Amino acid sequence: MVKEMKSVGYEIDIDTHVKIMREFQKNYMAKDAVELYEHMMDGPFKPLVKECSLLLCVIAGVTDPDLDLMFRVVKKYEAAGYSLVKSDYDGIHRCLTSVGNFDEAEKIIETMKSAGCGPDNITYSQLVFGLCKARRLEEACEVLDVMEARGCIPDIKTWTILIKGHCAANEVDKALLCFAKMVEKGFDADADLLDVLLNGFLSQKKVVEAYKSVIEMVNKTHVIPWQTTHKR
């Protein structure tokens, strides 16, 4: 419909674009979203600057991100005269780490540094996620040591991603060791991490261990489990 409108001399306005784009993003229709983005960038009504990073997140959010779509978005964005900002670099980095392209991901980090955007918890958390997805669990653990050495202290979300990655790889015992190390660092479990550990136990049919773990953490840290945790 958009192409047909353009063929007879009409362009959709930015409000209509936003409504359509949100539907594409909500349903992770990355290819359609990129095509619409390219169409709008070539027209008189340019998308908002933040649209680039939002679109990169959509591309990175699928199981196997399409790097060609990522490059198309970045190319169109830069061709319009815009410069990449931290959130844009994060989107590119997330796409690369999700497909296991760690060499290029490292280059993006160096480019970020040159642009004055130092890596932070978001950057390192994405690297941990990618390494866990690739079943490179020891390297994922080492990332947290690298973070501390560089003065970037891992937060609860980074620890949760690491522990979840171990659970997804059926390494629940190692996940518990990571959890113990996290507690030593002064962190308590929150509802998200409690749910992750519970799913790890249940994936191995360790129902009693799951129950004991929930009770112990609730009593010790006073965390309030999610309703979905109780259902499971």
Query: pLDDT for 31-77, tens place per residue?
Result: 999 999 998 898 888 888 888 999 999 999 888 899 999 999 999 99
CA angle (89 as vertex; 86, 91 as ends), nearest 5: 110
Residue 128: φ, ψ to 5°: -60, -45
pLDDT in tens, 167-204: 999 999 999 999 999 999 999 889 999 999 999 999 99
Domain boundaries, the chain: 1-118, 124-232
Distance, first Cα to last Cα, the chain: 45
DSSP 99: T
Close Cβ partners of 163 (under 8 Å, ≥ 6 residues apart): 175, 178, 179, 182, 193, 196, 197, 200
Residue 99: φ, ψ to 5°: -95, 5
* pLDDT value of residue 110: 93
Cα–Cα dist 169/231, whole Å: 23
Burial zone of 103 (CB within 10 Å; 0-12 exposed, 13-18 middle, 19+ buried)? exposed
Homologous superfamily (CATH) of 124-232 is: Tetratricopeptide repeat domain (1.25.40.10)
Q: Given a cut of 90, is residue 11 above it in pLDDT?
A: no
pLDDT in tens, 105-151: 999 999 999 999 889 999 999 999 999 999 999 999 999 999 999 99
